[in-house]
Amino acid sequence: MQNQQRLTNKVAIITGAGSGIGRATAKRFAEEGAKLVLNDISQASLEEIAAELDCPDRCTTVSGDVSLETTAQLLKETALERFGKIDILVNNAGIHWIQDITETSVEDFDHVINVNLKSMFLNCKSVIPEMMKQNGGVIVNLSSVSGYVGQEMMGKSTFLYNMTKAAILQMTRSLATRYAKSGIRVTCVAPGVTKTNQITTEHTPDLDGFWQAVEGVQPLGRYADPREIANCIVFLACDEASFVTGSSLVVDGGYLAL
């Protein structure tokens, strides 16, 4: 199928672009003609994805911790200086957490909240004024099916991760209604289990067994590939989804339908 180039001349900021869903999204956005400002905490990962994309005229990278306001400001400034505008923000960066509440420290709590939720607040706060000036823009937030249900993994709770992902759903709705008259669409993707490195050997010593178990409980009988999630992000970001705002697209292979 011939590439439709649905994002030609659109300027997009993508956080967490060095791996997993963020990396797949960067590739899909590049294929669709977007101009990219890619962020990750790992400079090495950013260099790898930039080399893979091989479009230096349409891609620049900004390494940094998304939980810091300075990073959000730098992403905005880089996009404006390099490309002159900001059309799309993909709030993808996040971390997983598996631990019961009784074993979670205050420092751990703050860290997960800061990376998963505060980062989105900071980036939205930074780019929305620019989108309002141009009377349009799209924000795509990454939530999860974990924002809809209580979950446990490997005998532990994922309560803190679930909390952040549920909050992202509400932030999406609230920003969508607030800024609709400014031409800004705010949407959300809620993936099911996706084969990324977010689940590590630290959490699951038997990773092969974990992925086999995941396949056994999915109606479609498998986990998602990051590109499948990225395809949905492309759709929400492009003009084909011009009447979609305030809602979450669940991409879970039927998990929540059980």
Residues assigned a catalytic role: 161
Say whether pLDDT at 215 is over 80. no
pLDDT per residue as tens digits for the range 127-155: 999 999 999 999 999 999 999 999 887 78
Inside any domain, residue 210: yes
Looking at residue 42, its amino acid is S
- The per-residue pLDDT for 207 is 64
Inside any domain, residue 48: yes
Inside any domain, residue 153: yes
Please, what is the average pLDDT of the chain?
Answer: 93
Say whether pLDDT at 64 is over 90. yes
CB contact set of 110 (below 8 Å; sequence gap of 6+): none
Query: Which 3-state string (H, E, C) describes the chain?
Result: CCCCCCCCCCEEEECCCCCHHHHHHHHHHHHCCCEEEEEECCHHHHHHHHHHHCCCCCEEEEECCCCCHHHHHHHHHHHHHHHCCCCEEEECCCCCCCCCHHHCCHHHHHHHHHHHHHHHHHHHHHHHHHHHHCCCEEEEEECCHHHCCCCEECCEECHHHHHHHHHHHHHHHHHHHHHHHHCEEEEEEEECCECCCCCCCCCCCCHHHHHHHHHHHCCCCCCECHHHHHHHHHHHHCHHHCCCCCCEEEECCCHHHC
- The per-residue pLDDT for 2 is 45
Tell me the residue range of the domain where 199 lies. Answer: 11-250
- The per-residue pLDDT for 195 is 78
Nearest Cα neighbor of 97 from 164, 160, 144, 20 is 160
CA 127/CA 69 separation, integer angstroms? 12
| Total number of domains in the chain | 1
Inside any domain, residue 71: yes
Nearest Cα neighbor of 186 from 156, 232, 141, 241 is 141
pLDDT per residue as tens digits for the range 12-52: 999 999 999 999 999 999 999 999 999 999 999 999 999 99
- Tell me the whole-structure pTM to 2 decimals: 0.94
CA 222/CA 211 separation, integer angstroms? 9
Inside any domain, residue 2: no
CA 166/CA 155 separation, integer angstroms? 21
Say whether pLDDT at 167 is over 80. yes
CA 201/CA 255 separation, integer angstroms? 24
Domain of 121, CATH number, reads: 3.40.50.720
Tell me the pLDDT band of 204, cut-offs 50, 70 and 90: low
Inside any domain, residue 5: no
Inside any domain, residue 39: yes
